[in-house]
A and B are shown apart, each in its own frame.
Chain A
Amino acid sequence: MTDASLVARCRQGDDEAWEELVRRFSRYVLAIARQAYRLSPSDAEDVFQDVFARTYERLGDLRNDEAVRPWIAQLTRRLCVDRIRAGSREVPDPLAVEHGADETLEQLDEALSVQEAMLAMSEPCREVLDRFFCRDESYAVIGSQLGLPSGTIASRISRCLAKLREQLEGRERGPRPS
């Protein structure tokens, strides 16, 4: 299900869609709070609760349903900054913190985009890429598990990477936060 159709179902009050929305973005929100803003686990958990409470209240303000991810990212960033200001934490250089957060968020967005593009690929491609890049399996192991000659695995991976790139390039022309 695309982000846009998920948001549309949430607007209709579909409880399962709300659960899916939280599941889909929970790691993203926590990663922004923990990795980009270095919040403590308890502060990050508070931000997490606030983000989804406000998402629930304000989803109607979202003008472009496809832009839910950048919208949630902006909301999370605002709440992280509020949390830092409200706490006793001293921020030596707020600009440096924001700059670091920008970089981390870019990496998180990239990782999420790759994950989404992988999900849109055919099962054989997804499997061969996952085995080589994520599970660190050798061509021989991949070949024996998939019943393919080891010598053909490298070319399969290259073809699947080309498809993944096409998927990602299609996504780069995607929505901006509204």
Chain B
Amino acid sequence: MDRLLERVASAERTPAAGSAAAAAAALGAALVAKAARRSRDVWPDAGGAVAQSSLLAARLRALAADLEASYAAAIDALASGDAEAIGVRLPAAAEDSLRLALVAADVAELASEAGHRCNPAHHADVSVGAGLAEAAARAGAHLVGVNLLSRTGDTRSGEAQRAVARARASVENLASER
């Protein structure tokens, strides 16, 4: 945690918003894993949720590195003023941001599933996990928009918004169960 905070707060260009959001979603996945591990007595398929949260966290770890690289490449392209490079690098950064929104929405949906099944003592853990994931999905959608600049009609914006809607529905679902 100290290392991550130190790196994000540093004057270096990366890690920045995308990586920070990926870390938030990964923490959400970790909270789901904790709730599942501690609910095995009441949730026979808890191991399946642990496996899924582990895989989603692994995807987010890899994505954090991809987001750093694509963001740095996009900034370099903008600085160079090379239209061709901008035309390639910014959509690539948008693509990684979309992946962030999609994986984060999956974490929120897994948290929602865990909320129905886990020991009620851990409902707060999965609710907070879903909230972190929803924030990450929103961040991903926001970064998709930023990286697509004024490009209209790009399907990635709509796809990212649908991911945010999935994450939001999961959070609301969990809130209604309290």
Binding site for B on A (CB under 8 A): 132-133, 136, 138-140, 150-151, 153-155, 157-162, 165
Contacts and interface: CB of A to CB of B under 8 A. Distances in A.
B169 to A, nearest CB: 8
30 contacts: A132-B55, A138-B102, A138-B105, A139-B105, A139-B106, A139-B109, A139-B166, A140-B102, A140-B162, A140-B163, A140-B166, A150-B166, A151-B112, A151-B169, A151-B170, A154-B49, A154-B52, A154-B106, A154-B109, A154-B113, A155-B113, A157-B48, A158-B46, A158-B52, A159-B48, A160-B48, A161-B47, A161-B51, A162-B45, A162-B47
Nearest to A165: B47
B25 interface: no
Contacts of B64: none
B109 A162 contact: no
Interface size class of B (residues with CB under 8 A): 20 to 34
B18 to A, nearest CB: 17
Interface string B43-72: 011111101100100010000000000000
B106 A138 contact: yes
A161 B45 contact: yes
Interface string B103-114: 101100110110
A157 B72 CA distance: 36
Contact of B110 (A133, A154, A161, A162): A154
Contacts of A138: 102-103, 105-106
A154 B48 CA distance: 8
A99 to B, nearest CB: 27
Interface string B94-105: 000000001101
B56 to A, nearest CB: 10
A157 B52 contact: yes
